Structure 1
Amino acid sequence: MKNNDGQLIAIVGQSKIIETDKNSIFEILNFVMSSLNVRARFYFSVLVVLISYSCKDKPKNDSPQKNRTEPISVLVEKPDGMEIPEGMVWIPGGILKQGAISSDPFAMGHERPQHTVAVDGFFMDATEVTNSEYAKFVEETGYVTVAERAIDWEEMKKQLPPDTPKPHDSVMQPGSLLFKKPKQQVVDLNDYSQWWEWKVGANWRHPQGPGSDLDGRENYPVVHISYEDALAYCEWAGRRLPTEAEWEWAARGGLNQTIFPWGNDKEILNQRANTWSGTFPMDNDGDDGFKNKAPVASYPPNGYGLHDIVGNVWEWTQDWYNASYYKNRVAANDTLMNPTGPESPLNRYNPYAKEKVIKGGSFLCNANYCASYRVSARMANSLDSAQEHLGFRTVLPVRAKAHVMAIHKDLNAKIAYNCDIDTVFIAAPKHWHAPMAVMAMQADKYVYVEKPYGHDQHEKAMQGLKLEYEMGGEPKL
């Protein structure tokens, strides 16, 4: 099938992703040669030389191309025999139009324009990481969160405009940000200092500040977590944070072009998510069941089994925040496979800070303020900043040893001669497929040839091919 950019997309199941090596390819080629008559062998040998020369001399071209036709393979199904880790769900891979839909009345500029990405299937936590789960990590490792450490002014001022005065020592103490209800009516919603307070002693163990604890909150999402704190947990758990594309794809729950994880019906918001019900920041009537954070899984899951994917607390992703990233992606006019975001952060409103994208909104989101309980909503958050409405969930990717390009007999053979591709997959091979196999070998590509009909020698030729999957993957920092 083709996406809206005219790019050929080949969505394949787990059985189509294969790794092999050059020795196996030589065996396949020897087999193909043995099945040709003398004249065919001569023409085939000449073609091998021509293809080898063209592939070696062809320069790499990483520049954007219009109407690209290289197929993209996507891992959709969970690999056979791979068990779902406890507390996680399988998110099938697919093709995503990332960003706000045109009919979303709350969409902000940095959520547009939509652009096409492809995401492999992966495992994702069904809920946000809880206090009890984080406590186990801290107990085993002795980890100390950023909010519990002494503040390093020399490091902090790197993220501030030059000549910013140092705050008083009474403020420069370990702590975090807490929401405080304003005592008088708020006129300017752009001045968030009216409802945020730096609270010395607030951290994940004391989510509401000194005097509060985790008794009765074991199943609540852990908060006051910086990016570094989230990465430390991921490393311990053998997982990583989701990319923004993975997060948004999972949040949609199998639905296409919708505003919320459940569709487009805003009237059922209070039944589906923990947000600010009333007029922010003065009046929260609690019609959704909670006036602050809620225990995880207090609301129905989306189509993929994810609870609280919007509302409750914001969630870290591993992508840098760049306000122009979506526009740049559209300008590139291509489809990225498993994108990891921009190479560096850029926010003209906060140029000195290094910020990551956070997603999902929180219990503080309201229609008259941020309305970030939408799947496309995104916000920037500095690496060392922790608040009482910010947590995270983890993912566990599943990767085959090699990604593939699907080459079928009904596709234009010119696709196979693009030497920039990662891997070639040749389906139902006939004699004419042999040049493609040679092209892949000469360009250091992987190739898998399905069983040709009527040739028992194929079994020997295919020895050494292995279907291997692995969980995990290094996070992109």
Structure 2
Amino acid sequence: MKKLLMLVVMVVFLASCGKGDRGQLVGVDGKKWYPEKPYGMTLVPGGSFIMGKADDDIAAVQNAPAKTVTVSSFYMDETEITNSEYRQFTNWVRDSTLRMRLAIIADDEGLTAGSGGTGDFAFVDANNQNPTVWEQYVIDNYVGLGETGYEGRKLNWREELIWDTEDIPDEYYAEAYDSMYIPFEEAYNGKRTIDVEKLIFRYSEKDSEGAARNPDMSRKDFIQTKTINVYPDTTVWIRDFNYSYNEPMHNDYYYHEAYSDYPVVGVNWEQAKAFAQWRTLYHNGYVRKQKGRDDVFEYRLPSEAEWEYAARGGLESATYPWGGPYAKNDRGCFLANFKPLRGDYAADQALYTVEADSYEPNDYNLYNMSGNVAEWVNSSYEPGAYEYMSSMNPVVNDANNRRKGVRGGSWKDVSYFLQVGTRDYEYQDSARSYIGFRTVQSYVGTDVTLNASTR
């Protein structure tokens, strides 16, 4: 009997070692991961640089004293986010809004997929006749418990939306379609357009720093849901300038195909952050369909230090992304789109903005880091921030400070604001005809630093 018991114990022990680790500490097998360069981005190798004013502070602002800081590697958009790229965002919000309205109507009317018309846009879970144990558990315990009662329910993205009024299938679809447009009495020259006030994007944001510094508080206290109207404010072209005829830019700049490759403007700081959140969500929607792949690292606005480091392109103490100290090359051509020669806007071959990939890129292959449009950064504007911020991946972002950093200067600015060390700000809920943005994504993987060879 004792021999039989020992044999059973040995079999169980050997079975526990069946993975071939021979009883050694080998770690838990994870998913294979390979760094993937996001489309349209370039890798900025981390390193140290002297942040702040390289020349005399001619404006005597004294808000950017020279300071050596170090930043980690990251990917950055090669160009400012264009109208075409931002339209992908607003179109996605538009489509998801219509799909949600169709799904709610189908739910209220008891319509299901296969019944045709609006029923084909019913919530996916409404058509799931054989849910798994886990899916049923989630439906029973989590779905519909939020503010609207529809949280957690999946929209049907397989069906193509119908935008041609001649093809609308039933009165329910007509009701949802009509709700997306401005009323007939507000139509201009008989043309009804999408009611942009309906284009709302919701996302959740966690205050990790606040949670880390207040460990006794509940996790939910640091999670905030944001509700953002995502459509750019096209009226900025008129409101930013008095006694100036800019109606054509107001009417056509954002939606017309002629301006697709121009930088989006009229986007405030909150909208720029919402775009970055959506980009993460959209990318993960694809990644999660690929078995065995981790989520992507989130897209975000760059910190002020990351932006300046990238703008310098590896040139130490340069005035501009191309070096300097002049804004012209050796042939007398301007190197950026700004306000030269005491207001001769056309001297740089551009009156307003230009295509996002105009002029020569810097040594990190980044276009228009100076000029064209100024760019939002994910840092609050504090005049004395350089004095107390960390020298390692510095960022100062106070939620109570509504002044957010704007860097790089724009088509309407003089050359002082194009200098890579110049700091500026705008209020986070303000949109301007001369402010856009670009996004970054942290690089994680094999160590990549600019000055690794000097160690």
State TM-score, norm by structure 1: 0.50
* Aligned residues of 2:236 and 2:431 also touching (Cα < 8 A): yes
Change over 3 Å in CA distance of 1:218–1:175 after alignment to 2: closer
Q: CA deviation at 1:198?
A: 11
- 1:215-265 Cα distance to aligned partner (Å, 9 max, x none): 300000011001121111101111111000000000000010111111123
2:45 is aligned, of 92, 106, 109, to 92
- Equivalences for residues 45-194 of structure 1 within 5 A: 81-101=34-54, 103-104=55-56, 106=58, 108-142=60-94, 149=197, 176-178=235-237
- 1:38-78 Cα distance to aligned partner (Å, 9 max, x none): xxxxxxxxxxxxxxxxxxxxxxxxxxxxxxxxxxxxxxxxx
Change over 3 Å in CA distance of 1:292–1:342 after alignment to 2: same
For the residues of structure 2 that align with 1:196 and 1:95, how far apart are their CA atoms?
44
Asked if residue 340 in structure 1 is aligned to residue 340 in structure 2, the reply is no
Q: Which amino acid aligns with 1:231?
A: K
Determine the structure 1 residue equivalent to 2:364.
Answer: 304
- 1:27-46 Cα distance to aligned partner (Å, 9 max, x none): 69xxxxxxxxxxxxxxxxxx
* Aligned residues of 1:110 and 1:326 also touching (Cα < 8 A): no
Indicate the structure with greater helix content: 2
Asked if residue 272 in structure 1 is aligned to residue 332 in structure 2, the reply is no
Q: CA deviation at 1:90?
A: 0.5
1:365 is aligned, of 410, 413, 435, to 413
For the residues of structure 1 that align with 2:249 and 2:315, how far apart are their CA atoms?
37
Q: CA deviation at 1:326?
A: 1.9
Q: CA deviation at 1:83?
A: 3.2
Determine the structure 1 residue equivalent to 2:432.
Answer: 387
Q: CA deviation at 1:208?
A: 2.2
Q: CA deviation at 1:343?
A: 3.3
* Aligned residues of 1:356 and 1:383 also touching (Cα < 8 A): yes
Q: Which amino acid aligns with 2:308?
A: E
Q: CA deviation at 1:339?
A: 1.7
Q: Which amino acid aligns with 2:392?
A: M
1:315 is aligned, of 375, 394, 412, to 375
For the residues of structure 2 that align with 1:198 and 1:327, how far apart are their CA atoms?
41
For the residues of structure 1 that align with 2:311 and 2:426, how far apart are their CA atoms?
20
For the residues of structure 1 that align with 2:252 and 2:324, how far apart are their CA atoms?
41
Change over 3 Å in CA distance of 1:119–1:324 after alignment to 2: same
Q: Which amino acid aligns with 1:85?
A: P
Across the two proteins, how many residue pairs are aligned to each other? 266
For the residues of structure 2 that align with 1:211 and 1:217, how far apart are their CA atoms?
8
Superposed CA RMSD = 3.4
For the residues of structure 2 that align with 1:176 and 1:214, how far apart are their CA atoms?
15
- 1:196-219 Cα distance to aligned partner (Å, 9 max, x none): 5899xx9xxx98224665230000
Q: CA deviation at 1:397?
A: 0.6
Secondary structure of 1:127's counterpart equals coil
Q: Which amino acid aligns with 2:48?
A: I
Determine the structure 1 residue equivalent to 2:259.
Answer: 217
* Aligned residues of 1:178 and 1:198 also touching (Cα < 8 A): no
List gaps (5 residues or longer) in structure 2: 1-23, 27-32, 98-194, 199-232, 281-298, 448-455
Q: CA deviation at 1:328?
A: 3.2
Secondary structure of 1:380's counterpart equals strand
Determine the structure 2 residue equivalent to 1:356.
Answer: 404
Secondary structure of 2:69's counterpart equals strand
Secondary structure of 1:124's counterpart equals strand
Change over 3 Å in CA distance of 1:207–1:107 after alignment to 2: farther
Q: Which amino acid aligns with 2:353?
A: K
- 1:91-113 Cα distance to aligned partner (Å, 9 max, x none): 00001221112x24545525421
Secondary structure of 1:271's counterpart equals coil
Change over 3 Å in CA distance of 1:276–1:137 after alignment to 2: same
Q: CA deviation at 1:377?
A: 1.4
Q: CA deviation at 1:81?
A: 4.9
Change over 3 Å in CA distance of 1:397–1:267 after alignment to 2: closer
Q: Which amino acid aligns with 2:437?
A: F
For the residues of structure 1 that align with 2:323 and 2:252, how far apart are their CA atoms?
41
For the residues of structure 1 that align with 2:84 and 2:278, how far apart are their CA atoms?
15
Change over 3 Å in CA distance of 1:365–1:285 after alignment to 2: closer
Q: CA deviation at 1:362?
A: 0.1
For the residues of structure 1 that align with 2:45 and 2:64, how far apart are their CA atoms?
25
Determine the structure 1 residue equivalent to 2:184.
Answer: none
Q: Which amino acid aligns with 1:208?
A: M
Change over 3 Å in CA distance of 1:250–1:401 after alignment to 2: closer
Change over 3 Å in CA distance of 1:176–1:114 after alignment to 2: farther
Change over 3 Å in CA distance of 1:231–1:377 after alignment to 2: same
Change over 3 Å in CA distance of 1:175–1:303 after alignment to 2: closer
2:249 is aligned, of 205, 208, 214, to 208
State TM-score, norm by structure 2: 0.52
* Aligned residues of 1:260 and 1:374 also touching (Cα < 8 A): yes
Q: Which amino acid aligns with 1:341?
A: V
Determine the structure 2 residue equivalent to 1:262.
Answer: 322
Q: Which amino acid aligns with 1:338?
A: N
Q: Which amino acid aligns with 1:317?
A: V
Q: CA deviation at 1:272?
A: 1.7
- 1:179-204 Cα distance to aligned partner (Å, 9 max, x none): 68xxxxxxxxxxxx8x45899xx9xx
- 1:141-167 Cα distance to aligned partner (Å, 9 max, x none): 2299xx9549xxxxxxxxxxxxxxxxx
For the residues of structure 2 that align with 1:114 and 1:131, how far apart are their CA atoms?
36
For the residues of structure 1 that align with 2:336 and 2:58, how far apart are their CA atoms?
17
For the residues of structure 2 that align with 1:97 and 1:198, how far apart are their CA atoms?
41
- 1:359-397 Cα distance to aligned partner (Å, 9 max, x none): 110001114xxx210111121111110011111000011
Secondary structure of 1:358's counterpart equals strand
Change over 3 Å in CA distance of 1:211–1:121 after alignment to 2: closer
For the residues of structure 1 that align with 2:427 and 2:244, how far apart are their CA atoms?
16
Q: Which amino acid aligns with 1:138?
A: T
Q: Which amino acid aligns with 1:382?
A: Y
* Aligned residues of 1:315 and 1:390 also touching (Cα < 8 A): yes
